[in-house]
Each structure stands twice: as structure tokens, then as C-alpha cells.
Amino acid sequence: MEPGNNTQFYEFLLLGFSEEAGLQPLIFGLFLSMYLITVLGNLLIILATISDSHLHTPMYFFLSNLSFIDICFTSTTIPNMLQNIQTGSKVITYERCIIQVYFYIFFAMLDDFLLTVMAYDRFVAICHPLHYTVIMKPQLCGLLVLISWMLSAMYSLLQSLMALQLIFCTEMEIPHFFCELNQMLQLACSDTFLNDMVVYLASVLLVGGPFAGILYSYSKILSSIRGISSAQGKYKAFSTCVSHISVVLLFFCTSLGVYLSSAASHSSHSSTAASVMYTVVTPMLNPFIYSLRNKDIKGALKRFYEMVTIKSPIVLGVMKHP
């Protein structure tokens, strides 16, 4: 296809992980399992926080939002990849590719902002415990989430609109399992200087800024914890942050690994493998990280399970005897 033709006729080929036919069933089964675990695990977190009144607090309000975002984030890439493996087709239309880029950036940025908001919540809870209920009002919590959604939507819209202006050559193969923006920019025949500048600026402002905020929050948290006299008090204060620290490290280290691997190596397979950690493994592990060491979540899940098991026989009995 000649450059300059109408972009609605563009089609990309998602090369995925391997072109060997024998590996496709294994890849399909592995990613289907991880996707189902991600959806089920995060859905249980959402249901537990909604159904249990003990978890109607700012921390678990943000956690339920994070779980919802993780489900959506994974759903932007994995179902399409599974469909391509099942049908044996690697083709994705230009329109679907741009839509995938939009939602991928949107939910990735939401993850970034929401982890920052959750760090602020822990900062207020530990550094200003007496003013926590006054500061973290439901109105403020809702406003912080709303701002996160708005900023993410505006940035992803900007990147998608700029990608729409690109002209592509005949080489339309993306060495990835989804439409990753950096890979698309490398395929463009037109000048991508402005696109690259926006990506770099966003990395500094929208990723580096929140990460700096998280580091600042935890520096203050550690200072406050050191000031606690009893060892039990220190452990109790720090234990409320362990899960969030683990998720932050997992999210930022894996996402940083994606860009470092793509910058340091020209191998598309290394970049694709690193992206799996960022887009699939991290959302899958988040529910386990927050539930394994969290007594409130485990208690809520146990009560939710008991509630479901009690109601199920009643519903079945009503259906049998109308």
C-alpha cells in the first residue's frame, strides 16, 4: 500500500510470541488461564469490598477501583490475542488498533494515578491519623478518582489523535501481541518527532511525577513509623502499607523493564516478554498481594462466601417449588 492512502484501509499484523503452530495451543491455554484468574481474583475483591460494610473506607474504595481498572486493562489486549490464536488470523484493522492503543494507555495511566492516590491515602492515615476522617472524606475520594479518570482520558485521547495523523508504509507487521504505541511509531513513514516528544514528556510528567509523589509519601510514612515508640505499633503501621508497596514496586518495575528492554535491545521478543509482566502478570497478582496479608480482605471474602453458600440453597429451593 502506498503512503498517503486513506488510513481506513490499513491493516496490521500482530506477530505475537511465536509463529510456530505447535506452540499456539500452549500459549492460548496459558494466557486464557491467566486472564480468567485475573478477572476472577479482581472481581472477588470488588464484590468483597461492596458487600462488606467493614470495608466501606477510602483505602478499600480505591482498592476496588484498582481491581476494576486491572480487569479492564487486561481485557484490552488478551481477548483479542486469544481470538487471533483461535482463528489463526494475525490481522487487526487500523481502527481496532487505534481503539486498542487508546484503552491500553487509558487504563495504564489510571493504574499509575490510582496507585499515587492510594499512597496519599496511606500517608494521611499514618502521618495524620487524627485528621484522617476529616481529610479523606467521600467527596475528596470521589474527586481524586474522577480527576484520575479525566487526566487518563485526555492523555490517551491526545495520543490516539496524534497516531491518527501518521502515514504508514507497506511494512505493517507489529512484533507484539497487541497494538503497542512505540511499535506503531517505528512503522510510520511520516515524521514522528512530535509523537516521540509527547511520549517522553508524558513519561516524565505523568509517570515520573506520580512516582515521585509515591516516594515522597513513603519517605514521610517511614519517618512517622520510626517515631512510634512501640515495636507493635511500628509493625501495625507498616503492615497497612506492605501490600501497596508491593503493588507499586511490581507495577513500576515491570513497566520500567518494558521500556529499558526495548531501549537496550533490538529484540522484539524481549520487549514482548517484558510487556507480559506489565500487562498480564501484574493485574493477576494484585488480588493475591492484597488478600494474602490482609485480614480484612480475607475476612470479607470468607463472609461473602458464607453468604453465597447460604443463599444458594434457598434460591434453588424456591426454583424447585414455585
The 10s digit of each residue's pLDDT in 270-296 is 667 777 877 888 899 888 888 776 777
Q: For residue 261, how many other CB atoms are within 10 A of its CB?
A: 17
The residue ranking higher by pLDDT, 64 or 3, is: 64
Q: Which three cell numbers stand for residue 213?
A: 509523589
CA–centroid distance for 96 within its chain? 20
Q: For residue 210, how many other CB atoms are within 10 A of its CB?
A: 21
Output the CATH code of domain 7-290.
1.20.1070.10
The residue ranking higher by pLDDT, 319 or 230, is: 230
Strand order in the sheet with 11-14: 91-93, 11-14, 173-174
pLDDT in tens, 106-146: 999 999 999 999 999 999 999 999 999 999 999 999 999 99
Q: Which three cell numbers stand for residue 129?
A: 491519623
Q: Are 105 and 198 in contact (CB under 8 A)?
A: no
**pLDDT of 9 higher than 80:** no
Angstrom distance (rounded) from CA 3 to CA 92: 19
Q: Are 84 and 90 in contact (CB under 8 A)?
A: yes
Q: Where are the beta strands (DSSP E) in the chain?
A: 11-14, 91-93, 173-174
Give the per-residue pLDDT at 307. 75
Cα angle 192, 196, 200; round to 5? 175
- For the chain, give the mean pLDDT: 84
pLDDT in tens, 237-251: 788 788 888 888 888
pLDDT in tens, 62-83: 999 999 999 999 999 999 999 9
Angstrom distance (rounded) from CA 253 to CA 291: 21
pLDDT in tens, 171-185: 688 888 899 888 888
Residues whose CB is less than 8 angstroms from the CB of residue 303 and which lie 6 or more positions away in sequence, other chains included: 51, 52
